[in-house]
Amino acid sequence: MITEMPLCHKEIDHAFPIAPQVYSYLRARIVNNQLPPGAKISEASLADSLNISRTPLRAALQKLATEGLVNTRPNVGTAVAGLDVAQLHEAVFIRAALETAVVRKLAEMKADLRTLDPIVEIQKRAAERDDYAEFFVQDEAYHAELARIAGVPDAWRLALSIKGHVDRQRYMLMASIAKRSLRAYEEHIKINKEIRSSDADAAARTMHDHVNSVLELDAHGLTKDPPDRS
């Protein structure tokens, strides 16, 4: 188990707000499992190594806690949370609703998707060399750009706020199932084609399946069905 998570001064640019940088840094390492479930995050060590006060650090940790990515307990400290499968299923449900609405809107408005072309091309190259980190970055860019073109950028920002466990699962999916990133790229190409053909129903179905594919790991024994909350 990791007892602390030291960062280097170079990771933080003090010319910009500190809390968002610490949040982004920690979130990325939780998602890609560099900080695995149970890893302890020492406020004292982090604040010292970054030469910052605990105020922005606590703000970053609070945001991570709101997303269910860390647990903070008085007199115990902060540790990376385990994967909450119930939250995962709920976040997938919400994200699918948002993103199917986005692509349906794009198909109906006959949107110009040319700004997506360089993104999916970079995705293709990343998938071919199994570069999960780069593919993940471009995947985020692709979905954000869909929402921007549709004129509803807040739809993606809302999805971002609830999909921490989804991102952890997505990263495991790419690393665990052969050529999964290449398949995701092909799904993006299919969605683009259906939008360009003004086939709103087909685009919505493909996006729904694309978003829900993160649950494939259930079949590989890496996640379980969500517990009954009733």
Query: Residue 218 above 60 pLDDT?
Result: no
CATH class of 9-80: mainly alpha
Residue 28: predicted pLDDT = 86
Q: Among 23-32, 125-134, 220-229, where is mean pLDDT lowest?
A: 220-229
Domain boundaries, the chain: 9-80, 85-220
The pLDDT confidence band at residue 3, using thresholds 50, 70 and 90, is: very low
User: Which residues share a beta bridge with 70?
Assistant: 80
CATH of domain 85-220: 1.20.120.530
pLDDT digits (tens, 9 = 90+) for 43-59: 888 888 888 899 999 99
Q: pTM score, two decimals? A: 0.78
Residue 177: predicted pLDDT = 67
pLDDT digits (tens, 9 = 90+) for 63-77: 999 988 999 888 888
Residue 4: predicted pLDDT = 47
Question: Is there a shared CATH topology between the 9-80 domain and the 85-220 domain?
Answer: no
